[in-house]
Copies of this chain bind each other. A is one copy, B any other.
Amino acid sequence: MGDPRERTRTIATVLPDMETRIMTLILNNEEITALLSMEDCLAQLDEAYRELGEGRAISRTRSDIYGPTHDNGRYVFKTMDGMVPSFEAAAVRLNSDVIQWGAGPGGIRKDKQRTAPGNKFVGLIMLFSTRNGEPLAIMPDGVIQRLRVACANALGAKYMAPKNASIYALIGSGWQASAQAVAMSLVRPLKEIRIFSPTPAKRERLAAELKEQLGIDVHAVDDARTAVRGAHIVGAATNSLTPVVDVDWLDPNVHVTCVKELELDDRILERSAQVVVHTRLGRPANYIIGKGEEPIYDHDPKEGLSEDLQKIRGARKSRVDLAKRPDLGELVSGHVQPPPHGGMTCFVNVMGLGIQFAALGALAHSKAKASGVGREIPTEWFLEDEHP
């Protein structure tokens, strides 16, 4: 691919009239990784959630459209929008995926397929200015997706976990897990991180990586119970649709986080002195070709698996009403406080929000502009004279 700045200059040279034009930035994940530090993302999202909590930012509930594609898969077109006027930013985040369902080691799982040319995924953030409407940037969502999930969980801990929390138990060793640990280390004085996931080689590799990166005691353990015993913060970051931690294993003042509601034992929610959800927007709005709009959490075209999911959901639905809990915006903006006398707290990171992509997209855009990173194409290619 070569140096992307080199390429941009080449285009500008052969098309000299572009040099003075207003340009729309196109970034890739490598550039975004270099541009966005976890610290900066935490600060940017802290402000975004404060704006949300104060009623000055808003997201449009994620929608997923399911339709047929080749083979046994489903094509899913997913969009969510967000607006943070204090950053002069609005964004749509979209995913254009071929998905297949199957049985994994931890139960039923759905997997995005690498069907785009070159065995790639398609996930994009389109960023616009709330000042004049102009398109500012187009960028992939993969790196930002990981950062925003990690930061949301770290912000939950920043405002709810015990101030001196030093032991962090991480359940999971996948692509989300390492970012979770890095973000968490920025909001609490961690001294020890214990990692459990079903595959020994994976948990040991992640432990070695994090030890190197964070310079603290990070080690893999053989079971979840050992990981969470006495831990001050427990973070689940798995693909599991069944609970990965039992409430009876936990310290009474622990702060628990997750990246998927179904990872958590419902009794954790019931025993917590304070439960905060990422958003009360609820489930995504699912539009399923042949079925219309269905308010279900997840869609499985195979009857059997679908019934399993229905059972899981049905059995758990009655216990906890997350739609009535405070959200992260209310926590960050101080409208909700952690329990004054301690006790278990829990942050449930149920669903993404458009403001996360507007906020981090705006941060990547401003940093890229300042440092001259990224490809550019003339913004006028995306503008029109015609009244739409």
Contact = CB atoms under 8 A, between A and B. Distances in A.
Interface of A: 1, 7, 10-11, 13-15, 22, 26, 28-29, 55-61, 63, 65, 67-70, 75, 77, 79, 81-83, 85, 90, 92, 94-98, 112, 115-118, 120-124, 126, 128-135, 138, 140-143, 145-146, 175, 285, 287-292, 375, 377, 379-388
B289 A387 contact: no
A117 B379 contact: yes
A137 B377 CA distance: 15
Most B CB atoms within 10 A — which of A67, A133, A385? A133
Nearest to A93: B388
Contact of A384 (B134, B140, B290): B140
Given A65-B81, A143-B386, A116 B133 contact: yes
Given A112-B387, A140-B386, A130 B11 contact: no
A77 B128 contact: yes
A294 to B, nearest CB: 11
A384 B123 CA distance: 7
A383 B265 CA distance: 37
A97 B70 CA distance: 37
Contacts of A379: 116-117
Given A29-B385, A122-B133, A140-B386, 10 more contacts: A67-B83, A70-B131, A77-B128, A115-B132, A117-B132, A120-B380, A120-B383, A121-B383, A124-B126, A140-B388
Contacts of A82: 65
